[in-house]
Amino acid sequence: MIVYNLACDQNHPFEGWFSSPIDFENQRDRGLVECPICGSKTVERKLHAPRINVGAAPSNREQAVESATQADGDIDTAKLAQAVAGFVKGVRENTEYVGEKFAEEARAMHYGEKPHKGIRGRADKETARELREEGIEFQSLPFPVDFPNSH
């Protein structure tokens, strides 16, 4: 089952449970989804239900933002900070710090000279562009996570 945050044309928020996105659309189109407050059958999906899964850090920035987005579309800044902190922790635990050697290491893995592993490091904009042109996938992070591990 998936939980959708829904709102009617009067903007009354409510939740609906559906087996799939298609199930939601079918039920709505047949007039089976109605606002529990006013009974309106003009119902729209809102953003995903904002639920933070404490056990699993978001795997990217979009997920961190999404997990902190409330039903009304506002960002819960405390939740966002928590999600970003979890994300940074995950990056640090699952990658090796290579500092300025990021481009060199990324290329070595891409061209099969080294086994693949998670790395984090620095690259200037020009280098990042070149890596992308070579088809090397990586994520740019808007916040610092590239400090060496203490262990």
Q: Scanning residues 8 to 67, which ones bind Zn ion (CB under 5 A)? A: 8, 10, 12, 35, 37-38, 40
- Torsion angle of alpha carbons 55, 59, 63, 65, nearest 10°? 90
Give the rounded distance of the alpha carbon of 48 from its chain centre: 11
Nearer to Zn ion, 38 or 56 (CB): 38
Half-sphere exposure of 138 (CA within 13 A, CB side): 29
Q: Are 103 and 131 in contact (CB under 8 A)?
A: yes
Nearer to Zn ion, 12 or 114 (CB): 12
Question: Is there binding between residue 6 and Zn ion (CB under 5 A)?
Answer: no
Task: Kindly write out the interface string for residues 60-99 of this chain, putting x where it contacts Zn ion by CB under 5 A and - elsewhere.
Answer: ----------------------------------------
Question: Is there binding between residue 7 and Zn ion (CB under 5 A)?
Answer: no
The residue length of the chain stands at 151
CB of 32 to Zn ion, least distance (A): 15
CB of 86 to Zn ion, least distance (A): 35
DSSP, collapsed to helix, strand or coil, labels residue 97 as: strand
For residue 48, how many other CB atoms are within 10 A of its CB? 15
CB of 6 to Zn ion, least distance (A): 10
Give the footprint of Zn ion on this chain (CB under 5 A): 8, 10, 12, 35, 37-38, 40
